[in-house]
Structure 1
């Protein structure tokens, strides 16, 4: 067994500790490549300010190994990632007892995670998912209607941002007044989540945003409990929870709905913006997709591989473990750079090239995770992406990225990759 740092692997200049500088966070591929070439499981020379030893995993096989060992590499980051605890928010109904641990599905483990994941899976049951398609098509058509005649659009602000928001709001049965609350939470989380240098005023704003959404979701949960709605997702989740526990748990359900709304909004928006930027930059790809719609699924998966909206995942090692040939002691913080694993040439030849013909993308790309924590909302994301790409190709011709007005560098964030600005020009189908 070899611990690369302890065994004398040359220290890498500029790789003393996580996180790197902002420019590297926005374009980390060279950074990850240089580390992976020397050590696909790399121990930073310097521990965190709290004394926690930190490992960066960049190899495909090594990333998959960590993600599939949920008993050893857990999602509970308390004690190893200060930003995790700083982001904690109180329960909206502190006087009401809860049946669950105070962690949402993204950070839950064991039996607690299994139950909360079952609530998410209710959203993507086959019949329910297909029933959402007409609504998603209506939302997409309405947004395209607003700019189609102009021959150009600010795709992020005129489509990406409102599209995912409108869909999740309608699924949850929330009023339009919820839109500013959802967008505010998304905006603050994107810069505060996992940010080791988040100032107190940003954390205070994050807490206020969380509480606003939690209060809205508590009211929704209590309303659905008192007045169930047929074929309604929130009603069904409330019913499942009450049947299991014998009483309503508004705190656990409100937190579940809040993180589901956020997950369906921010990451989805980043994925859609990236796909349309690719269509606008590559006329040959655009025409291939237009001529053969069966390629759209591969296109979505290759987009997820090359530009992951959630580029890395944090885990706490709770028992001494070996990954690759590196020993990781219990109590370590492990950063699983799935975006780096997706660019590992040992798994994906010529990883920087965009190739919709790659094999095994469904099984091998790491963006959707692995094992017990594989993204439960993946089918919902695919539905929205499928409708969006098909509708755009149906209604707009000669789509081009406006290079001068666009900025495809991701917005500064410690947890998400969303293009800063995507401006498109096109010819409406009616005038083609």
Structure 2
């Protein structure tokens, strides 16, 4: 690994020299162990500690197959799927690996008694398999985390509809929280030249998800002038939704849970901000019953901020806790677009406010390669910025995941893999200087 890192840090290293590098027989990676799937049985979700389930192991280098690439990972990031995996909720990810392993002799490599996690990376291509022509050793890349087989016609209009669509590093093995990752070549995208490794690694999953959910015609199809309610507007997903709303001429109404998070939204340029903790909203009377009076009070607050208008789009991801309110406050003919359920999957809402007001609920899951490419292009052009707030070492991934699990983070949390320190990997210093305050916004600098 020392020789690989030295090559990456030398700007004169050629593609031929990368291709000639000897690959290690093994590498360090963050893993789950199959024999520990029941370690948290009977515990409340919040009490499950990722530091106990996530291991830093030495694992064997996987065989490189057709259409694939091995990438030296300089940096990665923690997503909620890392947290879900680490606490084995809602199910153990080893079931995903078993099903994927039964698909073909090639995918059988993924069905192991360990699971290398991680759905983001920034790094350098080391090897490409047969049939890969668009990428070569030495290319600096970031990874789109959609893994597809594309053997069914269903996926050829929108790859998210491929019956064999999976999230790399969550539903497949050999993910990005490691020194080397195995990816398909159609996951690769150019690394933004003005960003460090850890900054470039952080947008991937959440940036693409927010782009599809809010901007793409497959999601809400946001337009200029739209009022967009954004739950968790300073978080990993919401921070990108806020940026897309502002960049696209919409009016974000940012819902946050603290003054510090409200300040982040203000610094991004948002003017309409609701601190739900300060306002004391309680959308549920008890475990089984919601409080429509709180929906109404919430809607009234929104109208105060919009000059009497309801929201055109709700950017939903909390799920059970907020969904009833989201449906209620959406304008007649408006759209609730949902991509997750971090507070619970069983949503309840009053259907009268949906059907009688001609509202729509749109499900949105991650993004196809084209959407991810467009989202990454906006990052590369300095139109949308990473929201990295803190970076951990690979050995500290358990702590990083615990912090995300307990919502102690802002924006995204990065992980250094091969990169020995922060601040490396920038090649366009002029563009970086132009956007440095925005790049560092979530770091509190």
The bucket for the TM-score relative to the shorter chain is under 0.3
Q: Which has the higher strand share?
A: 2
Of structures 1 and 2, the one with the larger relative CO (CA 8 A, separation 6+) is: 1
TM-score by length of 2: 0.24
